[in-house]
Amino acid sequence: MIDHLTIKVKDFDREAAFYEAALAPLGYAKGVEFPGAVQFVSEDGSSVWVSRTDGDVQPMHVAFTGDEDAIAAFHAAALAAGGTDNGAPGPRPNYGPTYYAAFAHDPEGNNIEACRH
């Protein structure tokens, strides 16, 4: 089980606002905040940190879980917060017979997914 992970970003304020909006429908709330870093904590206690870096940023793929309503709300919130569509909510039978997901790129190109199996 993963306790926490960190997503490194260049534009901290923009990305922190994006993740606060996009992760809220999946049960994440803002936790600890430091200059250039913010934690979003899930209902089960796991967390995602968004942290500013001056170094190179390589886009990553992160998937979160939720039910179909939360997945749809995540996708809508991600797009409203400045993300770009990378796959509308719906079944993904090529990933598995019960796989349902939505995808968005955050403003810096990270591929953020919400899914259920």
Beta bridge partners of 5: 48
Range of the domain at 71: 4-54+61-116
Q: What is the mean pLDDT of residues 36-53?
A: 96
Q: DSSP letters along 66-105, please? A: --HHHHHHHHHHHHHTT-EESS-SEE-TTT-TT-EEEEEE
Condensed to tens digits (0 to 9), the pLDDT of residues 61-116 reads 999 999 999 999 999 999 999 999 999 999 999 999 999 999 999 999 999 999 99
Question: 15 and 111 in contact (C-beta within 8 Å)?
Answer: no
- How many independent structural domains does the chain possess? 1
Instruction: Say if residue 39's pLDDT is above 80.
Output: yes
CATH of the domain at 45: 3.10.180.10
**Cβ-count burial of 7 within 10 angstroms (0-12 exposed, 13-18 middle, 19+ buried)?**
buried
